[in-house]
Structure 1
């Protein structure tokens, strides 16, 4: 999440050159090349069902990246993250079986609600941007559910192929907006750095975590994203938080810690498939 937050701050600065869709293409395209070269998915014997799962995983992954960056064109980063988190929280509620989990989820929702702007400022938020953020949240929920199934087989190679599918989804949109600007040395270097920060490192770690955590725990732990976003904004964008925003972040942190502590005594679901190298 720390890597994703830093990458998001960096990505916003690229919008002026290649747009949100061009930035998405650079991120996902370079990430797919890096992970395919590392994991070498051609050495795996894939079944048709596994390839279908990888394709669905790539659709959710590419769509999630594209819609989230589209939302950042017109609404603030913190607002977009808070709205997008509705997807993981929906997964947490769907898979939860304990009353205590719902209590922690309620606290996380309260924290996210405090992060949303209220009053006159809320009326100035672009409805299209809000719609893109909601779409990103729905796709994020799908990414968690499909990703856990994919992670049980060949997580590394599947991640590389999934990112390739995501890059193919972003390709026509990125080329239409950015065109030849995508091929300048500066943009290629920026895209490589963005791919490492925002895709290659965090998605590899997420695939590892998805194999070892219950889906509801993983979903609520992702509510730490606003914390990382706030720290990234403070470090890289010189953003300051109001007291109510710090209170919101405190609620989210407490909820995440509560869910993690509650899951500590429960064994994760059995994993089928080899351990990643």
Structure 2
């Protein structure tokens, strides 16, 4: 549901608006973590979350909303993502990471397979290569890495660290594509990095305290 509504939203809404909407999911994760996982959300995590959200606004610079249907798709995608993260965290306490990732991707493949019959047109070779790389690297391997870290981190911390994603895209565009982001965009990236550093230090400190 998350990926399907995410792609559908990209067809209707500017990408900056879509991504910013999706990055509201960590707010829902933080709000539901205590109820569903009995995790305590600290003031430091809330401060980091607010800082990362403001930084993401500067980085993404969202455009027009794109209508009620676009906003609805974004909201559904964000809520589905938050639910998936919370469910994954709960499952990882008893099920190995590889099994969780395998079942998630297998169920997704089965449920979405009928869509291939709706649009039977074969993609080009380039499209096949791109889609294959998306499936292997950016879905399977990325999901495995994400679940491995989610198993070890508080779910709120993991959600906040997701704000590093648009920053990494910003840096990659600057290095590989010769893009020149505005100073306000770099300021937003710095705010996200500060937020990530804050929440990471707090997580390490809490882990040491629990171990001691």
Alignment pair present for 1:151 and 2:92: yes
Offset of residue 235 of structure 1: 5.4
- Equivalent residues of 2:59, 2:167 under 8 A apart: no
Partner of residue 198 from structure 1, selected from 126, 138, 163: 138
**Normalized against structure 1, the TM-score is what?**
0.64
> Once the two structures are superposed, what CA deviation does each residue of 1:161-209 show, in whole Å capped at 9, x if it has no partner?
2111112222233431x31415x65544332222122201100101111
Structure 1 counterpart of 2:36: none
Q: Residue 3 of structure 2 contacts residue 77 of structure 2 at CA under 8 Å; is this kept in 1?
A: yes
Question: Matches of residues 60-99 of structure 1 in structure 2 within 5 Å?
Answer: 63-95=1-33, 96-99=40-43
The corresponding residue for 2:78 is 137
| In 1, Cα distance between equivalents of 2:190 and 2:107 | 37
In the alignment, the residues of structure 1 paired with residue 129 and residue 52 of structure 2 have an alpha-carbon distance, to the nearest angstrom, of: 37
Indicate the RMSD between aligned Cα atoms, in angstroms.
2.6
Tell me the TM-score normalised to structure 2 length.
0.81
Among 157, 160, 168, which residue is 2:110 paired with? 168
2:64 to 122, 126, 150: 122
How far is the alpha carbon of 1:127 from its aligned partner? 4.1
- Structure 1 130/228 Cα, relative in aligned 2: closer, same or farther at 3 Å? farther
TM-superposed deviation, 1:116: 5.4
After superposition, the Cα gap between the structure-2 partners of 1:194 and 1:236, relative to the gap in structure 1 and judged at 3 Å, is: farther
Does structure 1 residue 248 correspond to structure 2 residue 192? no
CA distance in 2 between partners of 1:79 and 1:232 (Å) = 20
Note the residue ranges of structure 1 that are not aligned, 5 or more in a row. Answer: 1-62, 271-277
